[in-house]
Structure formats: C-alpha cells, structure tokens
Amino acid sequence: MEQICKRVFVIGLDGAGNFIKDTPTPHIHELLQQGAMTYQAQTAFPSISAQCWGSMFHGVDPDQHQLNNSVASDTRYPEDNDYPSFMKLVRQQWPDAKIAAFSEWSPINYGIIEQSCNFVDLSVRDPELAQASADYIRNNPDLTLMYIHFGDPDYTGHEFGYGEHVPEYLAKITEIDGYVGVVLDAIKEAGLLEDSLIIITSDHGGGGDHPRDHGSNHPSDMTVFWGCHGPAVLSGTTITDAVSLKDTAHVVTYALGIDPCPRWTGKVPNGIFNR
C-alpha cells in the first residue's frame, strides 16, 4: 500500500458528541474546514467511553473487543485478542517508531491500548496535557503516531448536562478547542502540518435519554463529529458517506500504508482521500 503521510495525530474530545457545531471552536473548524469532516458520524453502542474508544482503536464493535469501563480500568487489553489496535499494527510495522498516547483518562493508556505497543504515555489534566503534548511534538518531530485525549467535556456534561442548551458544557468545549489550538500550533511550528494526517473526533455525546448521562442509542448520545486534514485529503469536503468511529482504525492504517487487520469491520469512508 502507498503511504500518503509521514505521521498521524488522533485527537479525541471525550463526551463532545457533535456539539462543536453549537459553540465557537475556531481552531478545530479552521483545520477541518480545510480537510474533510462530518457532524453525523456514529459511535459504538453502548455509547460509553471504553466501548467507544475501544472501537476507535480496535476497529470493531464492543461485542467483539469486549472492552467496557470496568475492564479498561481494572485489567489490560489482552495481547492475544483477535482485534489489534491501529497502534499495535504501527508498532509491528516499525519497531523503532516513536509512538505516544497522552490521555487525560488513564485507562486508555493501560487498559485499551496494548502494552506491547511500547509507547510514550502520559495522563494529566487537560491544561497540562495540552502543553505536554505540544512539548513532546516540538521535541520529537520524527514521531510516527500520537493520540491525544481531552476529558473535560464529558466531566462537565455529567455535572451540568449535555447539549446545545447547556452553557457550561458548551463553554467547556470551547475551552478545549483552545487546548487543541496549542497542539496544532506545535504541529505547525515543528513543520509537520503538511505531511501529517490529523484526525479529530469524539467518543460519544450525551443528554439523550438522561440530561446528564450517555450510553443510550439516542442520536444525542450516538452522533459525533469526525474530521481529518492532511495529504491527499479532499479539502473543504463535507463527508456524505456513512462514518463510524471504528472507521478511524482503517483511516490511520490507510494513511500510513499499512494493511489493516482483516477482522476489523470498519472501512475507509468514501469521499475523504483523492487516492
């Protein structure tokens, strides 16, 4: 397979759903409006963090990868599972590659991503995580893959409620957009923007069946934004093909020229790349 970029960044906003459309997010929108994006991507069911991030990393639905919040928090994803993460495939392809996961929610680092990926990991609160991510990027411009996770939108949704009618929740998403801007500035300053694929998305929304919760199949819980920017991405594209969060694994491996796991059930959505 042809490799179309040198590296991939995946940035996740926990609990943000597709509500970036309802509050100012200038950094995210400036990037994705020059790439390809949709507000109508669908996450995994049940729409809960470990199930959803697990599907994003491992390319299958929760009934296959078997992750939930308890499993992710208390155990580690088994190395002999049939559904390796995209991080594991990258590590197998390039044993010496620089791979990192900076996740506010620490179970992503030790319970969802396989430890054999041998990656640099960090788990701190969002403001510190943004700066640490930026520092890592500036100091390691030869990195191959980095995942960055911001957790505060979900915490704010649980406290105040989710949705376009909740000012505290929308304000938090706007705040997180500023942290994304810190990361994007580092990517630009390191000279990495033009040959990197940057994916930005969320694991789930909220406020569907319960104003301050998520997990149901209600559209407010299940619908998330998904977008990317980088080489061969069709600029200014609104993705009309159906997009699932689990498609992320296929997109990452496609961009890096790696064969996907044949047991993954996602795809590379049509209308993203020009080759």
Q: How many domains does the chain have?
A: 1
CATH number for the domain spanning 57: value is: 3.40.720.10
Is 1 within a domain? no
- The range of the structural domain enclosing residue 140 comes to 7-256
Nearest Cα to Cα of residue 59 among 272, 254, 206: 254
264 within some domain: no
pLDDT at 11 over 90: yes
In this prediction, what percent of the chain has a pLDDT beyond 70? 100
Evaluate whether residue 62 is within a structural domain: yes
**pLDDT tens for residues 36-56?**
999 999 999 999 999 999 999
Hey, is 266 helix, strand or coil? coil
Would you say the C-alpha torsion 11, 271, 87, 135 has a positive or negative sign?
negative
pLDDT of residue 275: 84
272: in domain: no
pLDDT band for 259, please (50, 70, 90 cuts): very high
pLDDT in tens, 199-216: 999 999 999 999 999 999
Residues 6+ apart with CB under 8 A from 66: 81
Least confident of 16-20, 79-83, 95-99: 79-83
Question: Does residue 76 have a pLDDT over 90?
Answer: no
HSE at residue 51, side-chain half, CA atoms within 13 A, is 17
Report pTM: 0.98
Provide the pLDDT for residue 42. 98
Give pLDDT, residue 83: 98
- Judged against a pLDDT cut of 90, whether residue 69 lies above it is answered with yes
Supply the mean pLDDT for the chain: 97
Q: Please, what sign has the CA dihedral across residues 124, 128, 177, 273?
A: negative
In a domain, 148, yes or no: yes
Any domain includes 265: no
Give the angle 129-193-107 at the CA atoms, nearest 5°.
Answer: 30
Q: Using 50, 70 and 90 to split pLDDT, how confident is the model at 1? A: confident
Q: How confident is the model at residue 111 (pLDDT cuts 50, 70, 90)?
A: very high
